[in-house]
Amino acid sequence: LIASKPKNEPLVPGIIFATFRLSNEENPVAYAQLSSSQSQWGCTTPKIVKLDNNDGSNHIKNNNGVMEFEESGTYFVMAAAQCGSDDNDGVGDVRMWLRLNGEDMADSNTIQTVETDTAVLVCQTAVELKKGDKLEVVLATDVTEGTLGLVATKPHKESAVPSIIVSVFQSTGSTTNSKWTKPG
């Protein structure tokens, strides 16, 4: 980790660590922490990213990558994928975006160019959702050489690296009507 101070610009920290409380016993908040233990290879035809691990959730159902919301509100969504190839031979672009109720979400697409290495591709949004809405992460690739996609690995003597981790939580100060709700 390297911190730097570019001339006439703000400091670039080597790491930023943030933690926050989503809820308490009296006021549980809808959230989900989902991931995939499987590598998922892309193609030019978009496909839904599979999320086979439910690492924790409240009021958000996961059906292998189809997230269904049990409460209306404003949600923060972040998907972080380890993209690359199985044999480090992949060259091309990995694209990832969000789909709400079967429709691609405007301005949610992200692209990571890979050249025989791995990189983390992040896709995030804040979105107003209604009870029953379904949200999915979508993957597509443009491959010049080899194979590309989302790569799950198991380093020696370390925790597994999921191919993707998706974190979703409801904003505690949100409301779906014109009346403002005080957080907490």
> For the purposes of burial, counting CB atoms within 10 Å of the CB of 32, is it exposed (0-12), middle (13-18) or buried (19 or more)?
buried
Over residues 124-178, the pLDDT tens digits come to: 999 999 999 999 999 999 998 989 999 999 989 999 999 999 999 998 764 455 5
CA 69 to chain CA mean position, Å: 16
Q: Examine the pLDDT at 180 and tell me if it is beyond 80.
A: no
Q: Which domains are delineated in the chain?
A: 31-170 (2.60.120.40)
Residues 6+ apart with CB under 8 A from 179: none
Between 4 and 145, residue with greater pLDDT: 145
Q: What is the pLDDT of residue 3?
A: 80
Averaged pLDDT of the chain? 88
Q: Examine the pLDDT at 4 and tell me if it is beyond 90.
A: no
Q: What is the pLDDT of residue 174?
A: 44
Mean pLDDT of 105-116: 92
The answer to whether 124 touches 77, Cβ cutoff 8 Å, is: yes
Q: What is the pLDDT of residue 129?
A: 97
Closest to 96 measured CA to CA, from 139, 136, 41:
139
Between 13 and 142, residue with greater pLDDT: 142
23 — pLDDT class (breaks 50, 70, 90):
low
Sign of the four-CA dihedral 105, 132, 72, 54: negative
Over residues 31-56, the pLDDT tens digits come to: 999 999 999 998 899 999 999 999 99
Percentage of the chain exceeding pLDDT 70: 90
